[in-house]
Amino acid sequence: MNNVNSSFNMTDAYESTEHVYFLGIGGLVILAITLLFNLRQSDIPVINKRKWYEFGTEKAVHRFNSNATNLIKEGIKKTQSAAFYLFADNKYRMILGPKYANIIRNDTRMSFRWWIFDELHGNLPGFEPFKELAHTGIINDMIKTKMSHSLDALTEPVASETVASLKTICTEEQEWHTLKLKQAIAAIVAQVTGRAFLGHDFCREPAWRDDIVRWSYQMITAARELHTWPKFLRPIVVWILPSCKKLRETVDVARRNLEPVIKERHATIAARKEKGESGEAGSCALDWLEEVAQGRQYDPIAMQICLAFVGMDTTADLVFHVISDLSQDQELINALREEIKSTMEGKTFTKQELQNLKLLDSVIKESQRLRPTGKVSMHRIANETLKLPGDIHVRKGTYLGISTTHMMDSSVWPDGEHFDGYRFLKLRQNPEKANTALLVSTSPDHLGFGYGKMACPGRFFVANELKIILCHFLMMYDFQITEPYEKHSGLYGYMTSPSSDTEITLRRRDASSGDAW
C-alpha cells in the first residue's frame, strides 16, 4: 500500500515539471522550424513561402499538400522552367523544369536510392525494407542480371497466377456485383507479383498477400506522419506514433509467416545441389537474391517486403488508372478485345505476343502520361554540393526532382489534358519518334518510368505483367464505374493516389460465346 501511495506522490511531484519540459521542447521545435523556413537557401525562389503574418510553417505545408500541382505550375512559369523550392514536410525540395531531365539523368553526384532511404525513413524500425534497397544494391543487381533475363520463363507463370487471382478476388459470378477497385487490384497484383518473387505455393497464401497490402498502406501513412516531425526527433517519435507501431507489428507478422518458407527453400536448394540435381532453383527471386548477393549480407525478409512493395505499389496504381480510363470508353474496350483475340489466339503468352499488343501498350502509356505516380519524377538527393547550368547551386543533402506537369501540357502533347488511347500507337508511325512511343521507353517528355541511368530497372517485367493482367481482365469481365471520373484519383502533395472509395461493378463474361475467356 505504501508503494502505491509513493507512486502517486511521485507523479504529483513531477507532473508540472514534465508539462513544462515538453512545452519547452515543443517551443524549441517550432522555433527551429520557423528559423529553418526563413533561412534562404539561395536566390532560388520559394513558391509556398510563409506569409509575413504566419507563425511557423503549418500553413505553408498545408498549401503544398493541398495544392502542389498549381504551386509547381506557378514555379515553372515564374522561373521560366528553371529551378524553385517548395517547402514541405519540414524541408525544402528543389523542383527543376523538364529541360534539366537530360542534365541530371546520369549524374552520379545525385542518388535515387539514397533519396528513397531518406524519404522513406530506411534508418527507422518498421521501414527496414528501404535500408536493404539503399545499402546493398542487391535488388538492382537481381533485377538487371536475373529478372530481366527471365521474362520468357516468367510469362506463363504470371499469366496462370493472374487467372487464379481474378477468379478468387473478382469471382466468377455472372451477375453484376460491386468491389472496391483499389483494394481488389492491390490484392491481385500482390499475388501475381508474388509468383515471380516467392514461387507458386506461397504467393497464394492470403496471410502473406494481406501482410504486403497492409504494410504498403501503413507505410505510406506512417511515413507521412513522420515527415511532419523534424528529422532529429523521428528516431524518438517512431516509437510513439500509433501508425509506426502498427507498421512494426506488420513487419513482425510478415517475418513469422515468411521465415519458415525461406529456410525451407534454401534447405531444398542446398540438398539438390549436394545431389547434383537441377529442379526449381533459379525460378524466383528467393533464389536469385541468394545467387546475386555473392556473400553480401542482407535481410531476406526485409528484402522480400521491399520487392513486394516496389513490384506492387506503382503497378497496382497503373492498373487502376487504366481501368478507370477505359471505363469511360466502351469503343476502346471493344477495340482492345479485338486486338487481344487476334494476337493471343491460343491464349498462351510469350514475350513476342505481348510486344504485339500495340494498342494496349499505347493505352497503358497514355494512362501513365496523364497520371504518373506524382507531379515530380527523377527524385534525387545530392551527395555533394554541386552547380547546375543556369547558375543553380545545389547544396549537399538537397532533395530535388523534375516536374512532370509538362506531361499533360498541350504544348508538348497535342490536346495533352485529355486521354487518347491511340496517341502512342499513332506516334509509332513517325520513324523519328517510334522508339519513344513504346511503354518501356523513357524520354524527357514522358517520365513515367523515370529517365536515364536510374530509370526503373524493372519496367520490362512490369510492362509484361500489366499487359497480362489487363488482357485477362478485359476478356474475362464486363465492368463499369459509375462514380464521376474526376473522383477516381486524388493528390497528396505531389503524389497521385487512386481513391480507396472508387467502386467497380463487374460480372464474369460468358466464355462459351467465343468472345470471352
Which residues belong to the annotated binding site? 456
Q: What are the C-alpha distances in Å from 510 to residues 346, 513, 515?
A: 18, 6, 8
Q: What are phi and psi of 144, to 5 degrees?
A: -75, -40
d(CA 2, CA 440): 73
| 326 Cα distance to chain centroid | 22
91 forms beta bridges with: 88
Scanning the structure block, which residue is given the C-alpha cell 511521485?
10
- Show the cell assigned to 446: 514522358
Phi, psi of 274 (to 5 degrees): -60, -35
- Cβ atoms of residues 237 and 229 within 8 Å: yes
Q: Is the dihedral of CA 408, 328, 68, 129 positive or negative?
A: negative
Coil/strand/helix, residue 497: strand
How many Å apart are CA 255 and CA 100, to the nearest integer? 42
Rounded to an integer, what distance in angstroms lies between the CA atom of residue 391 and that of residue 410?
A: 29
Amino acid at 81: S
**One-letter amino acid identity for 170?**
C
Nine-digit cell string for 271: 540438398
Report the C-alpha gap between 75 and 84 in whole angstroms. Answer: 6
Give exposure, 225-261, as e/b (b: 16+ Cβ within 10 Å): bbbebbeeebeeebeebebbbbbbebbebbbebbeeb
Q: In angstroms, rounded to a whole number, what is the distance separating the alpha carbons of residues 117 and 115?
A: 5
Give the chain's end-to-end CA distance (angstroms, integer): 75
Amino acid code (one letter) for 438:
L
DSSP collapsed to 3 states, 465-485: HHHHHHHHHHHHEEEECCCCH
Q: Which residues pair with 381 in a beta bridge?
A: 111, 399
394's enclosing H/E stretch is strand 392-394
Unique residue bearing C-alpha cell 464474369? 508
Q: Is 244 helix (H, G, I), strand (E, B) or coil?
A: helix
Residues 6+ apart with CB under 8 A from 510: 174, 516
Strand 503-508 vs strand 177-180: parallel, antiparallel, or unpaired?
antiparallel
Binding site listing for heme: 456
Query: Of 68, 65, 70, 94, nearest to 82 (Cα)?
Result: 94
Q: Say whether 329 sits in a helix, a strand or coil.
A: coil
